[in-house]
Amino acid sequence: MILTLKSDTTPQQLQELTDYLTNHRIQHTSIERSHLVVLPKNNAADLAEHFSCIESATHTTQPFPLASLEWKQQTHVAVGEHVIGSDDFSVIAGPCSVENEEQIYAVAEYLHSRGVPYIRGGAYKPRTSPYSFRGLGKKGLILLHQAAKTYNLKVVTEIMDLRLLDELMEYADVLQVGSRNMQNFYMLNELGKLNKPVLLKRGMQAKAKEWLLAAEYLLTGGNQHVVLCERGIRSFDSDMRNVMDIGVIPFVKQLSHLPIIADPSHGTGSSSRVTAMAMAAAAAGSDGLMVEIHPTPNLALSDKQQALSFEEFDALLERLNALLPAVHKKAPTQSGVFKLQTL
């Protein structure tokens, strides 16, 4: 149950309410900056009659009340002048890792020419082996930021650790929480205190409802700017890097108001399958895509098997232009389609 408090509720009134709940052993959480008190169970039905500071009580049945559709119809996450989760189909693209100035400027220039508003790129990379390329660190972050600024793009990049928060707050527009950190509850708690958009990737072993509970951590901190990203889950099939769970897109839409996008690059692990799964995700109702691209995929320092070339990405955008009207979405450009030289 979610209690909405009147906007003029005093700290004392809130204290009286929470004291009452504590004394009656009713679990509750006050949401920062929101005038909300969440009760994970609907066990205080007549509360509003006893506390005049309560404006309304919304009954919820899901274990993630704030993320649930019972609470809200649709969240729109604003990133500057762009919105994720609206009729716009949000495309985020860029290399797995920022490698050097030439590479990231080439990607930024290309994305700008196509009307793609977001650039991605890891500066701090989670790598399975410590001997793999682990990113340029702060230098990469600054390069990404400068390239994005030059071409009027928004930056999406991963936060690996809270010690990097100050840097990322300065240089990123959207903080990506990677698959390996989806259940880093301490980190989620801290990111929940921010006003910065968070892209929460699905843990590679996470059930959909565990993922929504991770989102709930961000929401209970008062950060409402949460976007989910399906990136494939582990399975028994060793031929697949991950298994892209397209079915989770409509499933999440049945449960939650949070926007959900799809990452077919990590979801398939192979550039030969990225376009098919990108189209499938869009058709299934995804609010956008995150795709790895590279000026010279075979030379990429990380995830080269799954990076699309600019030509391949052009072909994907062209197919998206044809599909989006059928799913009532449009590219976030003036014309509503991605700009292609061939058009």
Task: Name the binder of 126 from ligand PEP, Mn ion, none, CB < 5-8 A by kind.
Answer: ligand PEP
Q: Are 291 and 229 in contact (CB under 8 A)?
A: no
Residue 288 structure tokens: 């956008």
Answer yes or no whether residue 134 interacts with ligand PEP by CB under 6 A: no
> Could you tell me if 264 and 291 are in contact, meaning their C-beta atoms sit under 8 angstroms apart?
yes
Tally of CB atoms within 10 A around 188: 25
- Per-residue x/- mask for ligand PEP, residues 22 to 61, rule CB under 6 A? ----------------------------------------
Q: What are phi and psi of 318, to 5 degrees?
A: -65, -40
Q: Is 92 in the site for Mn ion (CB under 5 A)?
A: no
Q: Count CB atoms within 10 A of the CB of residue 247.
A: 11
**Which among Mn ion, ligand PEP, none contacts residue 85 (Cβ within 5 to 8 A by kind)?**
none
Residue 164 vs residues 120, 121, 172, 239, 291: alpha-carbon distances, Å: 17, 16, 11, 35, 24
173 part of the interface to Mn ion, by CB under 5 A? no
- Is residue 96 near ligand PEP by the rule CB under 6 A? yes
* Contact status: 178 vs ligand PEP (CB under 6 A): yes
CA distance 94 to 92: 7
Q: Is the CB of residue 290 less than 8 Å from the CB of residue 93?
A: yes
Alpha-carbon distance of 134 to 96, in angstroms, equals: 11
Q: Which of residues 93-112 bind Mn ion (CB under 5 A)?
A: 96
- Of residues 187 through 226, those in contact with ligand PEP by CB under 6 A are 201
Q: Is 303 in the site for Mn ion (CB under 5 A)?
A: yes
Contact partner at residue 288 from ligand PEP, Mn ion, none, CB < 5 to 8 Å by partner kind? none
231 binds ligand PEP (CB under 6 A): yes
Stretch that binds ligand PEP, among 59-67, 105-113, 178-186, 305-313 (CB under 6 A): 178-186
122 binding ligand PEP? (CB under 6 A): yes
In this structure, what are the phi and psi dihedrals at residue 232, rounded to the nearest 5 degrees? 90, 150
Q: Nearest 5°: phi and psi at 114?
A: -100, -5
How near is the Cβ of 212 to ligand PEP at its closest, in Å? 17
By CB under 6 A, residue 288 contacts ligand PEP = no
Tell me which amino acid residue 1 is.
M
Residues lying near Mn ion in the complex (CB under 5 A) are found at 96, 303
Query: Which residues form the interface with ligand PEP (CB under 6 A)?
Result: 96, 122, 126, 178-180, 201, 231, 266
